[in-house]
Amino acid sequence: HSGDVARTVRRNHEDWLAEDNRNRMRYDAVEHSMRGLSEIDAWMRTEANRLNARVMARRARRAKVMVAGFSSLAAALAAVAVGTMLTTANLYETAKAEQREISLDDGSRIHLNSASAVAIRYSTEMRTVELHNGEGVFDVSHDAQRPFVVSAAGAEVVAIGTRFRVRLADGEVTVTVLEGAVAVFNDGAAVDPTSPERETTLLYPNDQVTLNDGGVTAVESVDALAATAWREGKLIFDATPLRQVVEEMAQYTQVGLDVADDVPDYPITGLIQIRSPDAMLRFVANAVPITPVRAAPERIVLHATPPAPL
């Protein structure tokens, strides 16, 4: 009878998967998470070792030693223990209105958005990317022995065989998952990774959180493909306030874009091609009653269009 039960369970499971594509996505995400536990565990061990090495190095600096070479030896030992932090960083950046795709030695890829910068450090134990500013989409190759961690403004994102976006703007870090799963940790390396006070959030496809001085927001459901449509040369908006739309558009133009104070924050819905600044402005002008006016050679202001005479 146990065989009959197993077949029934398997059939019910297959029926559940077939009911809704979202069920398949949830199941795949859980599988990714289970496979990724070893990566998180490896990262936690590395973090703990790094924290211990920092404590030992601090004690060595405070100790009063009679032999001049002793402190140098202690520093050298500490450097070995925290070797993942001392590896040479490869720096990549994009100018305003520029995008760049970076292929890494392990098969991972990073797609940098406009005005973005990352520092990449690979060692035998860790793959670390520090996002200094801007936005990137990370397509990560699985390697349980070398966790892939993206850090930004104190937040750390541990990849679990996945594709995800990290955006750093105005001191806020936004993490969005396209495929697989990620573990998001607040407070970075400044907090003991084994501490129960260290916040951890697991994200799955189309999940998004924002981290700021107030902590981690609740997980929200978003259209991850729309949020990263810039990779395809598009911006997609759904009842997005005008000023937010203009702020996004400004990343892809060489001139400054502003909205006059008297213009309402109209909701904008639609798809904008970012390859042509003029086309972006025409789209907005056709969607709502505004008129672009060149206030200076490098600045355009959107003013309210006066009503047509009766």
Q: How far is CA 188 from the centre of its chain?
A: 14
Reduced to 3 states (helix: H, G, I; strand: E, B; else coil), residue 93 is strand
Q: Is residue 257 predicted with pLDDT exceeding 90?
A: yes
Maximum C-alpha span of the chain: 93
pLDDT value at residue 73 = 34
* Model confidence pLDDT, tens digit, residues 275-288: 888 999 999 999 99
Lowest mean per-residue pLDDT among 25-34, 79-88, 215-224: 79-88
pLDDT value at residue 229 = 97
The Cα–Cα gap between 63 and 58 comes to 9
Q: Is residue 120 predicted with pLDDT exceeding 80?
A: yes
pLDDT value at residue 141 = 93
- Are 121 and 84 spatial neighbours (Cβ–Cβ below 8 Å)? yes
What percent of the chain has a predicted confidence (pLDDT) above 90?
Answer: 54
Please report which confidence band the pLDDT of residue 77 belongs to, taking 50, 70 and 90 as the band edges: very low
Q: How far is CA 124 from the centre of its chain?
A: 23
Q: How far apart are the first and last CA of the chain?
A: 84
Please state the rounded mean pLDDT for residues 204-213: 93
Strands 299-304 and 256-259: parallel
Element (H, E) at 309: none
Q: Which CATH number fits domain 233-304: 3.40.50.360, 3.40.50.10950, 3.55.50.30, 3.30.390.10?
A: 3.55.50.30
Reduced to 3 states (helix: H, G, I; strand: E, B; else coil), residue 45 is helix
Delimit the CATH 2.60.120.1440 region(s) of the chain. Answer: 28-222
Q: Write out the two tokens for 30.
A: 């859980």
The Cα–Cα gap between 204 and 177 comes to 6
Reduced to 3 states (helix: H, G, I; strand: E, B; else coil), residue 109 is strand
- Are 237 and 221 spatial neighbours (Cβ–Cβ below 8 Å)? no
Provide the 8-state DSSP code for 167. E
* Model confidence pLDDT, tens digit, residues 151-171: 999 899 999 878 999 999 989
- Are 243 and 262 spatial neighbours (Cβ–Cβ below 8 Å)? no
Lowest mean per-residue pLDDT among 56-60, 101-105, 152-156, 205-209: 56-60
pLDDT value at residue 38 = 52
Please state the rounded mean pLDDT for residues 82-101: 80
More confident residue, 18 or 37: 18
Q: Which residues contact 213 (CB under 8 A, 6 or more apart)?
A: 171
Check if CATH label 3.40.50.620 holds for domain 28-222. Answer: no
Q: Write out the two tokens for 289.
A: 């009653």
* Model confidence pLDDT, tens digit, residues 19-75: 766 666 655 655 555 555 555 555 555 554 554 444 444 444 444 433 333 443 344
Q: How far is CA 190 from the centre of its chain?
A: 19
Delimit the CATH 3.55.50.30 region(s) of the chain. Answer: 233-304
